[in-house]
Amino acid sequence: MEKIVSLCKRRGFIFQSSEIYGGLNGCWDYGPLGTELKRNLKDFWWRRMVRERDDVVGMDGSILMNRQVWVASGHEATFTDPMVDCRNCRSRFRADQLPEKNGRKQCMVCGSEDLTEPRAFNLMFKTYVGATEDESAVTYLRPETAQAIFVQFKNILEVSRKKLPFGIAQVGKAFRNEINPRNFTFRSREFEQMELEYFCRPDHGLELLEYWLKERLRFYSDIGISSDLLHVHKIPPEECAHYSKGTYDIEFQFPFGVQELEGVAYRTDYDLTQHQKASGKPLEYFDEETKQHFIPHVVEPSAGVDRTVLALLCAAFDEEHVTDEKGKTETRTVLRFHPRIAPIKCGVFPLLKNNERLVGQAREIVDLLRPHMMVFYDESGAIGRRYRRQDEAGTPFGVTVDFDTIGENGPVNDGTVTMRERDSMKQERIALAEIKSFLLERIS
Ligand code: GAP
């Protein structure tokens, strides 16, 4: 994990938020490569969950909502974690995360067993809307994106003219005042979620729970996370939320242990029923075939963007020993991202930076590719070093313009470039005219 955290900082994937002021615990900033990676992940989720389907539409809700949303959903009363204080060193912890010795919980910092009784700590960040800081102005930063979907259900049903089953998808920020943010970005106080609420008839819910579990596992495989690193944990009924008729956690084998990436939950009609009761506005669906009014049930695949980015980094990280032509062995650090989510798709390198024809041709290739993908032009240093820099950034392909390309070595390879593949380090010559289609085929 230390190696991954250090690579993330060195190469500009992830930095500590407000670093020059000592940081802010549980908050992170994404640098140039991390931002591209995150964007590619969210775009692919949107493509898979919304654009490629007839039965899902998108929305983008506000982060601040009427406080009554959180009262009705139950978050104001019960969205809590059990918190304990260590009387010896004054550290604070989530009671359920403390190690035990001889059946007694211990402080994670000093090992003391002198702990307070657990008390409920609400994870929502409280804030005030408007100029008066009194109770009537209180609301919260949303702790999940899902509630905006439930409270807009009726509007979206009307404008989209969808019939059950259909879903509403949303990607956006969520905030939780976690007692112990930890494991790099894994448990943060500010993070992003990708959530789908898939509404259905009550008798269809259990079947759709299985369907969405399979779909979500297919998604992880399609972004390059091998099934060997994933675990499906079926939550025992007694541990499920009282309104859930079934929940799966999709877990990933992080270097710090197997931990949840995504929850796929059958939430029945709980949320819509709560909002209908509290708002007094009908949130029912009218079934034209049976002429019945009822509150739809919902299946919810809810994934964390930041956790998935961390999983992608952990799954992609590799170090291997390679020997160069002179017999020198060195360690190659490589991020083996799937080309679909890699931050940069292709490096473009003129063999020499002081040759106008090589540089001009390389620049032309950059201009050709830029409207279609993220490319990186690099003319500085030995070509081997330039390849290594892109290996560390996870760039799957590299194009080198050399003297063959510009016809200075005779007609045989005139008009061709070297295409290098990151994982195998194999190089092949391909025609200038084929570069774009070669790459597009592999990154889509
Ligand atoms: N609407 C359902 C819901 O929010 P959740 O299991 O609390 O369910 C869903 O959250 C996902 O959001 C988690 O599986 C995780 O990926 C992400 N998530 C939750 N809390 C997080 C945190 N503190 N830091 C980073 N990601 C978090």
User: What is the full DSSP assignment across 153-195?
Assistant: HHHHHHHHT--SSEEEEEEEEEE---SS-BTTTTB-SEEEEEE
Q: 82: part of which helix (H) or strand (E)?
A: strand 80-85
- Residue 193, ligand 1, Cβ within 6 A: yes
Ligand 1 site, residue 26, Cβ cutoff 6 A: no
Distance of CA 23 to the CA centre of its chain: 22
Rounded CA-CA distance 132/125 in Å is 17
Residue nearest to atom 21 of ligand 1 (CA): 187
pLDDT for res 387: 96
H helix intervals, 50-117: 67-72, 75-78
CA nearest ligand 1 atom 16, residue:
304
Rounded percentage of the chain residues whose pLDDT exceeds 70: 100
Question: What average pLDDT does range 230-234 have in this prediction?
Answer: 98
Structure tokens at 279: 């708002």
| Residues in Cβ contact with 279 at an 8 Å cutoff, skipping those fewer than 6 apart | 68, 72, 151
- Distance from the alpha carbon of residue 175 to the mean position of ligand 1, in angstroms: 10
Ramachandran region of residue 107, left (φ > 0), alpha (ψ -120 to 50) or beta?
beta
389 C-alpha to center of ligand 1: Å?
33
Q: What is the pTM of this model?
A: 0.96
Residue 324, pLDDT above cutoff 90: no
| Residue 301 CB less than 6 A away from ligand 1 | no
**Mean pLDDT over each residue of the chain, to the nearest integer:** 96
pLDDT at 274: 98
Residue with CA at minimum distance from ligand 1 atom 7? 144
Residue nearest to atom 14 of ligand 1 (CA): 262
Do 228 and 245 meet the contact criterion of CB atoms below 8 Å apart? no
Tokens of 131: 């100029």
Atom 4 (ligand 1) nearest CA = 144
What spacing in Å lies between the alpha carbon of 207 and ligand 1's midpoint? 24
**Nearest protein CA to atom 20 of ligand 1, as residue:** 187
Kindly state if the Cβ of 261 falls inside 6 Å of ligand 1.
yes
pLDDT band per the 50, 70, 90 thresholds, residue 194: very high
pLDDT in tens, 116-140: 999 999 999 999 999 999 999 999 9
- Which residue, chain included where needed, has tokens 């495989």? 221
Ligand 1 contacts CB of residue 149 (under 6 A)? no
Indicate whether residue 195 lines ligand 1 (CB < 6 A). Answer: yes
Q: How many other C-beta atoms can be found within 10 angstroms of the C-beta atom of residue 37?
A: 26
Contact call for residues 28 and 127 (beta carbons, < 8 A): no
Q: What is the pLDDT of residue 325?
A: 78
CB 18, CB 12: distance < 8 Å: no
Cα(189) to centroid(ligand 1), Å: 11
The sign of the torsion formed by the CA atoms of 6, 9, 15, 18 equals positive
Within 8 A by CB and 6+ apart from 148, the residues are 59, 61, 62, 65, 142, 170
Lowest mean pLDDT among 143-147, 370-374, 377-381, 406-410: 406-410
pLDDT band for 323, please (50, 70, 90 cuts). confident
Q: Are 336 and 394 in contact (CB under 8 A)?
A: yes
Buried b or exposed e, range 426-437, using 16+ CB within 10 angstroms: eeeeeebeebbe
Which residues pair with residue 170 across a beta bridge?
Answer: 195
| Ligand 1 centroid to residue 208 C-alpha, Å | 21
